[in-house]
Amino acid sequence: MSDPVLAMRNVSVAYGGLIKAVAGVDLSVRPGEIVGIIGESGSGKSTLAHSVLGLLPKAASIDGDRFMLAGNDMLAMDRNGLAALRGPAAAMIFQNPMTAFSPIHTLGRQLIDLLWRDRDQTAARKRERIVAALRDVGIPDPAGKLDAYPFQLSGGMLQRVAIAAALLMKPALLIADEPTTALDVTMETQILHLMRTLRDSAGVAILIISHHLGVIAEICDRVAVMYAGRIVEEGPVEAIFRDPRHPYTKALLACELALIPPGVRRLPVIAGDVPRPGGAGCDFAGRCGLVEDCCFSVSPPWAIASSDPSHHSRCHRSAS
């Protein structure tokens, strides 16, 4: 089995040295694998993604036992070193394609600027690469689109351009932050098919962050569930959706509209708020319907949760 493109062990991100937005995360993504991260807003998903890209603000500090990206030690990198890794090691598709590009420059101008590192290539050669990348993601008349401005394309087409822009860097890891939020159902299906094709044809490792559980179930090989800065459950996508073991994962799935039985008059919710990470005991104890006395004082272990040894959960009940 090939080495992971991304390997994190006990990685934490704190702001001002006090507030931990990410607390002790273990995560890996291998070449040709699609891993999904799900969780409520404020659970630390985007902070985790930004740490991989070296995009954390100056007020943030990061530490851990191991944090490797494409063979590079992220914990030993300065800001210049992190900037050099953006593109070749990891690239990101942001949530809103309408804000991913400058509105005052053509798409061709902006895509050529992404290739500034390739100083040995002529402008004509860069243009050929860009046209080929746009064609690969299904853009009609790719050469003609170079003279277009972002507002002249639909959201779906612009998201395809954003994917092409990321792939121009030939990244080892592609991070997609809510890549289908701004798209209609038809275009969402096309984007998901495109990402599967990239995984299968180019062996790109992909990390997807999404609130949309249907997207995660459709495309991912493994899923990590984040809550209050921690991963509380991880496993193969089928195990997470068919046999969830952590109460928070069960609550998330119960709130998914597509899984709510017909005739339900009141939609389910997860009562309460996400607590500040780093408290004693289980972070979900104050919102859990299965809470026990030990949950408030003893941190639950990271343990195998089912007959599948790759399925883990951070819950006292799962470990018992």
Q: How do strand 6-15 and strand 19-29 relate by DSSP bridges?
A: antiparallel
Q: Is 10 helix (H, G, I), strand (E, B) or coil?
A: strand
pLDDT recorded at residue 277: 67
Per-residue tokens: 177: 């932050």
Cβ–Cβ under 8 Å, residues 34 and 195: yes
Q: Tell me the residue ranges of DSSP E strands in the chain.
A: 6-15, 19-29, 34-38, 60-63, 66-69, 72-73, 90-93, 173-177, 205-209, 222-227, 230-236, 302-304, 312-314
* Among 157, 209, 194, residue whose Cα is nearest residue 47: 209
The answer, yes or no, to whether residue 200 has pLDDT greater than 70, is yes
Highest mean pLDDT: which range of 76-80, 253-257, 310-314: 310-314
Q: Do 21 and 15 meet the contact criterion of CB atoms below 8 Å apart? A: yes
β-pair partners for 253 = none
Mean pLDDT of the region 54-67: 91
Angle, CA 233 vertex, CA 201 and CA 178 arms, to 5°: 50
* pLDDT for the residue numbered 107: 94
Q: Using alpha carbons only, how large is the chain's radius of gyration in Å?
A: 21
Q: Which range among 6-10, 85-89, 123-127 has the greatest average pLDDT?
A: 6-10
Condensed to tens digits (0 to 9), the pLDDT of residues 145-185 reads 999 999 999 888 898 899 889 888 889 999 998 887 767 77
Report the chain's mean pLDDT, rounded to a whole number. 88
8-state DSSP, 4:
P
Tens digits of residue pLDDT in 84-108: 888 889 998 887 778 889 999 999 9
Confidence of residue 320 (pLDDT cuts 50, 70, 90): low
Share of the chain above pLDDT 70, in %: 98
pTM: 0.89
Tokens of 132: 């080929």
Token pair of 155 as six digits: 């959201």
CA nearest to 45, candidates 227, 253, 269: 227
Per-residue pLDDT at 137 exceeds 90: no
Tokens for 228, please give them.
């209050």
| pLDDT recorded at residue 223 | 96
